[in-house]
A and B are shown apart, each in its own frame.
Chain A
Amino acid sequence: DAGITQSPRYKITETGRQVTLMCHQTWSHSYMFWYRQDLGHGLRLIYYSAAADITDKGEVPDGYVVSRSKTENFPLTLESATRSQTSVYFCASGIGSYEQYFGPGTRLTVT
Chain B
Amino acid sequence: RKEVEQDPGPFNVPEGATVAFNCTYSNSASQSFFWYRQDCRKEPKLLMSVYSSGNEDGRFTAQLNRASQYISLLIRDSKLSDSATYLCVVILSPYSGAGSYQLTFGKGTKLSVIP
Contacts and interface: CB of A to CB of B under 8 A. Distances in A.
Contacts of B87: 42-43
A101 interface: yes
B94 A42 contact: no
Interface string A87-111: 0001000001111111111000000
A96 B34 CA distance: 14
A104 B42 contact: yes
A98 B34 contact: yes
B55 interface: no
A41 B98 contact: no
Interface string A37-55: 0001111110010100010
Contact of B107 (A42, A48, A97): A42
A65 to B, nearest CB: 17
B23 to A, nearest CB: 12
Closest 3 A/B residue pairs (Cβ): A97-B95, A102-B43, A42-B107
